[in-house]
Structure 1
Amino acid sequence: MTADRWNSQYPVGTPVTAYPGCRPEDDPKAERLVTRTRSTASVLGGHTAVVWVDGHSSCISLTHVDPGGTS
């Protein structure tokens, strides 16, 4: 998903489940954060769409963020 599309669908404060390292499909022990976004999505390095979430100090790729906060 592009940053623009994310921003048009999900405002700052949207509940999400975020996976800072890898997704659980890749590692059943993957860290899972049930949290909220604290920024709009942006493009990092010219190609990776990312968002910042509460409770984590780094941005997380949109491929590792699921809207809803209950996954």
Structure 2
Amino acid sequence: MDKEINNYMTPAEAAYRWGKNQETVKNKLKPSLNSELDQMIKRGLIKYYQKPNGQRKEWIVSVQAMEEWFGKSN
């Protein structure tokens, strides 16, 4: 049985699991390059955490988001 936690991953793991370059996945997490990013956050497919006054966002990506972007993993 597949564990629920395996449906969520870091961008680095997502890139590995889908056989994509990590920069390709990171580009999907940039509002300037992905107009549907806010909608995917609202749908609960991706999320980020940013420390107060922090510069960097830490992302969590769902399997569903990756499938919408790139199709099923290999």
TM-score, normalization: structure 1? Answer: 0.27
Structure with bigger strand share is 1
- Structure of greater Rg: 2
Structure with bigger helix share is 2
TM-score, normalization: structure 2? Answer: 0.26
